[in-house]
Amino acid sequence: AAHDGEGLRVVDTWETAAHFQQFVETRLMPAVVKLGLPGEPQIEIFEAINIFAPGYTSK
């Protein structure tokens, strides 16, 4: 995560889009509402073609 001058930018990797959507609905948006942050987060999704992560094994 980093502040880019316009706001907080977070990059994350998820096993599936469904897992990410569940996180947004059950964790992210409730936290945004609880903190009273204005608006909704701007979310951009990009498909990962290859991931280099030595020692990581997918489920």
Q: Quick check: 38 pLDDT over 80? A: yes
Query: Is 23 a member of any domain?
Result: yes
- Count: domains in the chain: 1
| Domain span holding position 30 | 14-58
pLDDT score for 59: 67
Q: Which of 38, 47, 41, 30 is nearest to 8 (CA)?
A: 41
The answer to whether 8 and 1 are in contact (CB under 8 A) is yes
In a domain, 9, yes or no: no
Taking 80 as the threshold, does the pLDDT of residue 58 lie above it? Answer: no
| pLDDT(50) > 80 | yes
Taking the C-alpha atoms of residue 50 and residue 59, their distance in angstroms, rounded to an integer, is 16
